[in-house]
Amino acid sequence: MSQRIEDYALIGDCETAALVGRNGSIDWLCWPAFDSDACFAAILGTRRNGRWLIAPGEEATRTSRRYLGNTLILETRFETRSGIVELIDFMPPRGKASDIVRLVRGVSGTVKLRMELVIRFGFGVDIPWVRRCKDGSLLAVAGQDMTVLRTPIETRGEDLTTVAEFEVKAGETVPFVLTYGPSHLDPPAPIDPEIALQETEKFWQDWCSRCTRDGEYHDLIMRSLITLKALTFDPTGGIVAAPTTSLPEKLGGSRNWDYRFCWLRDATFTLLALMNSGYTEEASAWHNWLLRAAAGSPANMQIMYGIWGQRRLLEWEAGWLDGYEGAKPVRIGNAAHAQLQLDVYGELIDAFHQSRMAKLKLDDESWALECAVLNHLAEVWDHPDNGIWERRGEPKHYVFSKVMTWVAFDRGIKSAETFGFKAPLLHWRALREAIHRDVCNKGFDAEENAFVESYGSKLLDASVLLLPAVGFLPAEDPRIRGTIAAVEKHLMRDGFVLRHDPREVSEEKQPIEGAFLACTLWLADAHVLSGDLGTAQALFDRVAALANDVGLLAEEYDSVAGRQTGNFPQALTHIALINTAHNLSAARQGSEKPAMQRAK
């Protein structure tokens, strides 16, 4: 039986990440980078598609786990009739090679354990050639990939699996280190696992000490910030939406997408989360990634890019993988990268404006790029697009897309006025007014008293909750109040917000997915701006309560099954949690504007 998505915890080295199950099995890892092929893919198939299990040979009477303080070092505690052991899992910050360190520590009694290592490169299909080296290490090679296992425990081959049985007594520690390297080079040098543990702990403690937020929600914010840092590709500053692909939005369904890429749409939310927490260095790195990725012709700007800024993210299906709990297909790559989604232009310009307002040092070419983007947007803002939710049907005039084109010109105007940049302000102001009028005339349904998903539609869309946050209309405007009420009437299920209107789906009247957690937090933000802090707090608490035992959240929540769904952990969910926590704190402290009020 597969583990629930929330039964996993995250470890990583800021270039890739692995998911460790509550049962002691690493079931997902792409090596050497987030967007590489997986060598452990059991979460999307079976154990034969790659995993690394270390667990007691007998059934555990109790299993608990935690991160060691403010770190990404995972401790899983197994209690058995024979004794207690702790499994310490972590990935040291990347040196010359990438390592996974697993330390088995005896706490009491004597516990028998079993280790099973199934390496399958190429997303669970390529069986490596395994041989033992003179120093006792185990070398596995397939194509370009190589791993080296080092441990003092005797291992053997069994049914294309490396296995070992061993005992750990109280006070003893048994180390396992698995290291990745390119197959054409010599095997990577060994590391000292205990020194690596100390250095990893210091790395995370030093990083966390830079957080400027304290008081309310500190622990919650800190765990989300650590998760965001873990999803950052350190060489470039790009932040992946999630470290996984094809964990289903609906259990057993086909809406399974690859999230191991960087979305421009998350730009401003990410910058606010980092800057409001004191992480200006990371915010600058993210901004610089945005600048490099979007460089070139604005007409060719994509909604997402690879971690290095790659543009071709071709989508294909790994047909040999059965999918998480049978949810097929398993997709690698993401065809949505080629869609027109007009809202990303607004996110880009808004991110640059927020960076300037926060006094981040920007590249001299930033303004030239922004002007080129706005010149292009002036020609295409009134075109239909695929929208924020990346619909794969016919393009429409999505309301949120149009609003974000308004944001693009609004922030361009504000940057020019504030910083004295040369710009065609009369033209931009005229376009800003024209877009605002267009949205209010065609995107607002008077009968529903709400902004709708797209022009001429009667259906709603959770993205309209962001209209007051981006400054399109004030929260006290009757049209915004009506929109919030309509969302709560039609898009709420069991206290959470669906991103799509359930009235659009088939006769079964069942939503096509679970509740999108970031949308519930957007509703909380709208209530903060409206001054209803009680409702906002209740929504925030409801989402926070869904975090698993180590503080991680997926993309969505299936309230019927009582389970997290979608790719995991999800950067946007954690970013929204950070920002809503900041907004609630700022509102209680009487700040003039909450953190997400971006029209500055």
Q: How far apart are CA 447 and CA 439, in angstroms?
A: 16
Q: 264 and 295 in contact (C-beta within 8 Å)?
A: no
Q: Is 168 helix (H, G, I), strand (E, B) or coil?
A: strand
Please name the amino acid found at residue 361. Answer: K
Which alpha helices (H) appear in 386-477, and where do they start and end? 399-419, 425-442
pLDDT digits (tens, 9 = 90+) for 422-463: 999 999 999 999 999 999 999 999 999 999 999 999 999 999
How would residue 259 be classed by pLDDT, with cut points 50, 70 and 90?
very high
Q: Does 592 score more than 80 pLDDT?
A: no
Between residues 456 and 591, which one has the greater pLDDT?
456
Would the pLDDT of 600 be above 50?
Answer: no
Q: Which two tokens stand for residue 425?
A: 């302000």
CA distance linking residue 566 with residue 71, whole number of Å? 25
Section 33-56 average pLDDT: 97
Distance CA(484)–CA(548), nearest Å, equals 29
Q: Is the pLDDT of residue 173 over 90?
A: yes
Average pLDDT of 546-570? 96
Helix axes 533-544, 517-530, angle to 10 degrees: 160
This prediction has a pTM of: 0.95
CA pair distance 330, 320, nearest whole angstrom: 9
Cβ count within 10 A of residue 504: 14
**Domain ranges for the chain:** 5-185+200-206, 210-588
Contacts of 86 (CB under 8 A, 6+ apart): 75, 76, 77, 78, 104, 105, 107
Per-residue pLDDT at 506 exceeds 50: no
8 A C-beta contact, residue 243 and residue 16: yes
Secondary structure (DSSP) of 72-123 = S-EEEEEE-SSEEEEEEEE-PPPSSSEEEEEEEEEEEEEEEEEEEEE--HHH
- Taken in order 120, 4, 558, 243, the sign of the CA dihedral is negative
Q: Which has the closest alpha carbon to 181: 150, 147, 149, 151?
A: 147
pLDDT digits (tens, 9 = 90+) for 400-425: 999 999 999 999 999 999 999 999 99
For 339, the 3-state DSSP assignment is coil
Chain mean position to CA 346: 21
- Of residues 268 and 73, more confidence is placed in 73
pLDDT at 287 (0 to 100) = 83
CB burial string 515-551: b at 16+ within 10 A, e below: bbbbbbbbbbbbbbbbeebebbbebbebbbebbbebb
Written as one string, the DSSP assignment of 284-327 is HHHHHHHHHHH-S-GGG--SEE-TT-------EE-TT---GGG-
Q: Which amino acid is it at 529?
A: L
Q: Which CATH architecture has domain 210-588?
A: Alpha/alpha barrel (1.50)
Half-sphere exposure of 212 (CA within 13 A, CB side): 9
Q: Return the C-alpha torsion angle 280, 285, 286, 292, nearest 10.
A: 150
Q: For residue 563, which of 510, 519, 515, 522 has the smallest C-alpha distance?
A: 515
Rounded Cα distance between 280 and 294, Å, is 21
Q: Quote the mean pLDDT of the chain.
A: 92
Spatial distance between the Cα atoms of 22 and 26, rounded to a whole number of angstroms? 9
Mean pLDDT, range 510-518, rounded to an integer:
77
Please give the Cα distance from 87 to 281 (Å, whole number): 33
**Residue closest to 73 by CA, chosen among 151, 32, 13, 117:** 13
Of all helices (H) and strands (E), which one includes residue 497? strand 496-497
Phi, psi for 170 (deg, rounded to 5): -55, 130
Q: Is the confidence at residue 235, as pLDDT, over 50?
A: yes
Q: What pLDDT score does 1 carry?
A: 59
- CA dihedral 347→352→356→360, nearest 10 degrees, is 110
- Alpha-carbon 334 to chain mean position: 15
Type of residue at 596: M
- Interatomic CA distance for residues 295 and 9, integer angstroms: 36
For the chain, give the percent of residues with pLDDT over 70: 97
Per-residue confidence (pLDDT) for residue 460, from 0 to 100? 94
Amino acid at 280: T
Residue the block writes with tokens 């622990």:
219
The residue-averaged pLDDT of 470-477 equals 96
What is the per-residue pLDDT across 274-328, written as a single tens digit (0 to 9) for each?
888 999 899 888 888 888 888 778 778 888 899 998 988 999 999 999 999 999 9
Q: Strand 145-150 vs strand 138-142: parallel, antiparallel, or unpaired?
A: antiparallel
Distance of CA 316 to the CA centre of its chain: 21
Q: Which residues, 6 or more positions from 69, have their beta carbon under 8 angstroms from its beta carbon?
A: 201, 205
* Burial 448-485, CB ≥16 within 10 A → b, else e: bebbbbbbebebbbbbbbbbbbbbbbebeeebbbbbbe
Superfamily of domain 5-185+200-206 in CATH is Glycoside hydrolase, family 65, N-terminal domain (2.70.98.40)
